[in-house]
Amino acid sequence: MKAIVCGAGQVGYHIARTLAAEGNDVTVIDQKEDVIEKIAGSSDVRGIVGHAAHPDVLERAGASGADLLIAVTYADEVNMVACQVAHSLFDVPTKIARIRAQSYLNPAWANLFSRDRLPIDVVISPEIEVARAIWRRLQVPGASDMIPLADDKVRLIGVRCEQDCPIVNTPLRQLTGLFPDLNIVVVGIVRGDRAFVPSGDDAMLAGDEVFIVADTTHVSRALVVFGHDEAALRRIVILGGGNVGLFLAQEIEAGSAGLTAKIIELDKNRAELIAERLSGTMVLNGDALDPETLEEVNIQAAESVVAVTNDDETNILASLLAKRAGCKRAVTLVNKATYSPIVVSFGIDVVVSPRAITVSTILQQVRRGRIRSVHSLRDDFGEIIEAEALETSTLVNKPLAEAQLPDGVIIGALVRGDKVIIPRGDTVPRPGDRVILFAASAAVKTVEKMFAVRLEYF
């Protein structure tokens, strides 16, 4: 596949590296020469210095033969025009654009991005995606991550093992014997700076973040087994009334009876604006770093604080202040990748990375074969993939013990109709099964081929 990535910021840089590592022909366009030199020097990509929406720049980037254009510059208008030029002049078949300004995304203008107007095939709004990702985490108290799969029949759950976790130091192969009726598979472990796909002889240690694939009906029990028996959420305090905070509050109002939210927003005009757009959420104009403001929203009684201001340091410090005041759990938005590994050691429970969420959303649109959904786990660790097994797949009609799965791939579940099957060595996948698996980054390309249908391209 030949792809052009417009914009070499955090998102563009990571997408380009990921696609190039999988053997794709990738060209990156950015106006900053030093940024282009950095990405071209560290990855097998071609760099072009120039304006991503200019026809001559796109021509030099090879747009006439490109399969895909991903526009993730910092300017919405540049992203939109780049897609328009790629469509009108170079017939690029698939165009993806990151759009931040919510005015463009107003449902009243839903046909703006139609093929005969601004021809963008997929529009990504980072703020909306981040709010949805946080809301998913909040729905499973105790989970550091939650991704619904196979129409929510299966869930990928991230769980942090604390010192009192009852199954630390237990080899994974013993879990089936200890909990024979628990439908879960451990597919990944993050230990400090190291992330790996475990074998049956590996054991979880205190401080590990463990990713498990679970039958949705078994999630609550699985959390208890991992030492998390948190009560259901009733009170949430959101720090920051920007687009993420507003969208999250709207999700809460629309989707959860019995759960109340309060927002602290520093800017008075913004606080008044979001108060008008919310019906059941209290909005307080104040400073999230002021202990008196936190006391005013009764932070000590909240089960969770969600810090989503536009400043990482404010989010981290306000989260720690909230927990010190008695709040039980902190969900913290952190943009700087260098902060993520260390803030958990400070006592923050869940770190949310807008870049990782945006990259994951975009990668879902570029996978080949019968792949229904893709979600990235941590930086360069791998992807949780939901795929449909067809008759031509190399995986079907043989026991998994004979399937010769590539290194770094572990199957977490099969979904056959309404039935969730936790795989064993003698499990035989059938055509039509939905296969939930984790693939380390180096194995993703091989997984695509496993689910490819001859020359079919999705």
| Span 141-198, pLDDT tens digits | 888 899 999 999 999 999 988 888 889 999 998 988 889 889 999 999 988 878 899 9
What's the rounded Cα separation, in Å, for the pair 348 and 79? 35
pLDDT given for residue 94 in this prediction: 93
Q: Is the pLDDT of residue 458 over 60?
A: no
Burial label, 62 (beta-carbon count in 10 A; 0-12, 13-18, 19+): middle
Over residues 31-60, mean pLDDT: 92
> What's the mean pLDDT in 293-297?
95
Q: Which residue has the higher pLDDT, 437 or 232?
A: 437
By mean pLDDT, which of 32-41, 73-82, 357-366 is the weakest?
Answer: 357-366
Asked whether the predicted pLDDT for residue 101 surpasses 70, the reply is yes
Q: Do domains 2-124 and 238-357 have the same CATH topology?
A: yes
- According to the model, what pLDDT value does residue 2 have? 94
Structure token digits, residue 46? 């071609």
Do the beta carbons of residue 253 and residue 278 sit within 8 Å? yes
Please report the pLDDT score of residue 456 as a whole number: 42
Burial of 103 (0-12, 13-18, 19+ CB in 10 A): exposed
Tell me what percent of the residues of the chain surpass a pLDDT of 70. Answer: 97
DSSP tag of 99: -
CA dihedral 125, 129, 130, 136 (to 10 degrees): 170
> What is the structure's pLDDT at 369?
58
SS3 72: coil
Question: In the chain, what percentage of residues exceed pLDDT 90?
Answer: 57
Q: CA 104, CA 179: separation in Å to the nearest integer?
A: 50
- Strand 122-124 versus strand 94-98 pairing type: parallel
Token pair listed for 341 = 């590994």
Task: Please report which confidence band the pLDDT of residue 83 belongs to, taking 50, 70 and 90 as the band edges.
Answer: very high
Reply yes or no on whether the pLDDT at 455 is more than 50: no
* pLDDT tens figures, 417-435: 999 999 988 899 999 999 9
Is residue 159 within 8 Å of 149, Cβ to Cβ? no
Q: Give the pLDDT confidence of 355-386 residue by residue, as tens digits.
A: 888 888 888 777 665 777 888 887 678 889 99
CA distances from 131 to 101, 295, 305, 307 (A): 15, 25, 14, 11
pLDDT for the residue numbered 14: 87
- SS3 readout for 300-332: HHCCEEEECCCCHHHHHHHHHHHHHCCCCCEEE
Check: CATH 3.30.930.10 for 238-357?
no
Q: Which pLDDT score is estimated for 141?
A: 85
pLDDT > 80? residue 308: yes
Q: Does residue 457 have a pLDDT over 70? A: no
| Superfamily covering domain 367-450 | Regulator of K+ conductance, C-terminal domain (3.30.70.1450)
- Closest C-alpha to 188, from 452, 445, 448, 443: 443
Q: Tens digits of per-residue pLDDT, 103-155?
A: 898 888 878 888 888 899 999 999 999 999 999 989 888 888 999 999 999 99
Instruction: Determine the pLDDT at residue 447.
Output: 83
Run of H or E residues at 10 = helix 10-21
Mean pLDDT to the nearest integer, 45-74:
95
How far apart, in whole angstroms, are the C-alpha atoms of residue 125 and residue 127?
A: 6
Topology given in CATH for the domain delimited by 2-124: Rossmann fold (3.40.50)
CA distance 294 to 9: 35
Q: In which band, very low, low, confident or very high, does the pLDDT at 331 lie, cut at 50, 70 and 90?
A: very high
- Domain residue ranges in the chain: 2-124, 131-225, 238-357, 367-450
Taking residues 324-330, what's their average pLDDT? Answer: 93
CATH for 131-225 is 3.30.70.1450
